[in-house]
């Protein structure tokens, strides 16, 4: 399942205009524009129609996200230190971690973000002493288990990782490396 804030990104990744997606979902283009801008909170029914239209458009024969995802989702707590995050990344040989607060994914931390902090003039020690929530990025995009790999690949052009959700819970992750290894 997608999140409302990802509708615009996913629509663009799929190469759809607002007019096309609105028509597929059976809503007006102006309503879709307001939803994408965060000015309107759609009803559950309308949100489901939009998500169904995105899924239907993107589905093709072949493997799905659930077929290649890494099921052992390694995460870091929102209030953990960056040093703890780096230790986990090194121990588990991963380059990104979803950030969890009260059981929900609220952000992501990547080796790229940490290196950019050091490259911008911060000392490594200063970066390591910070809390994860002080350096994290927005959460990684989400897809369902049934999302086709072409959609996952398109999303990975713009993001380091994609979280795979099932019944509203994260159940796996796919990175560029995972995609190449398992296809």
163: confidence class by pLDDT, cuts 50, 70, 90: very high
130: confidence class by pLDDT, cuts 50, 70, 90: very high
**CATH code for the domain of 36:** 1.10.260.40
Asked if residue 161 and residue 134 are part of one domain, the reply reads yes
**d(Cα 130, Cα 81) in Å, to the nearest integer?**
6
**CATH code for the domain of 131:** 3.10.580.10
Asked if residue 40 and residue 106 are part of one domain, the reply reads no
Asked if residue 111 and residue 53 are part of one domain, the reply reads no
54: confidence class by pLDDT, cuts 50, 70, 90: confident
61: confidence class by pLDDT, cuts 50, 70, 90: very low
Alpha-carbon distances of 182 from 30, 65, 96, 178, rounded to whole Å: 41, 11, 18, 6
Asked if residue 95 and residue 31 are part of one domain, the reply reads no
Q: 154 versus 94: which is more confidently predicted? A: 94
How many distinct structural domains can be found in the chain? 2
90: its two tokens: 């090194």
167: confidence class by pLDDT, cuts 50, 70, 90: confident
pTM score, whole prediction: 0.66
The domain of 10 spans 4-58
Nearest to 170, CA basis, from 81, 74, 90: 74
Render pLDDT for 64-108 as a digit per residue (tens, 0 to 9): 899 889 998 999 999 999 999 999 999 999 999 999 999 899 999
pLDDT at res. 131: 97
Whether the CB-CB separation of 77 and 101 falls below 8 Å is answered with: yes
pLDDT at res. 176: 86
Nearest to 167, CA basis, from 142, 148, 150: 142
Instruction: Using the 3D structure, point to which of 42, 58, 74 is the last residue of a domain.
Output: 58
Asked if residue 157 and residue 77 are part of one domain, the reply reads yes
Q: 125 versus 183: which is more confidently predicted? A: 125
Of 53-62, 114-123, 131-140, 170-179, the one with minimum mean pLDDT is 53-62
Asked if residue 98 and residue 174 are part of one domain, the reply reads yes
Q: What is the mean pLDDT of the chain?
A: 89
């Amino acid at each position: 399942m997608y999140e409302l804030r990802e509708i615009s990104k996913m629509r663009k990744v799929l190469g759809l205009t607002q007019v096309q997606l609105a028509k597929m979902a059976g809503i007006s283009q102006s309503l879709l524009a307001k939803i994408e801008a965060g000015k309107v909170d759609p009803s559950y029914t309308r949100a489901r129609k939009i998500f169904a239209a995105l899924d239907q458009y993107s589905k093709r024969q072949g493997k799905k996200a659930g077929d290649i995802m890494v099921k052992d989702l390694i995460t870091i707590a929102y209030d953990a230190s960056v040093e703890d995050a780096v230790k986990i990344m090194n121990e588990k040989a991963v380059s990104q971690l979803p950030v969890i607060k009260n059981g929900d994914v609220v952000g992501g931390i990547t080796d790229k973000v940490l290196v950019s902090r050091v490259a911008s003039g911060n000392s490594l020690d200063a970066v390591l002493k910070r809390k994860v929530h002080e350096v994290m990025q927005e959460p990684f995009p989400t897809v369902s288990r049934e999302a086709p790999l072409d959609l996952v690949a398109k999303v990975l052009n713009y993001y380091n990782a994609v979280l795979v959700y099932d019944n509203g819970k994260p159940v796996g992750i796919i990175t560029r490396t995972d995609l190449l290894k398992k296809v």
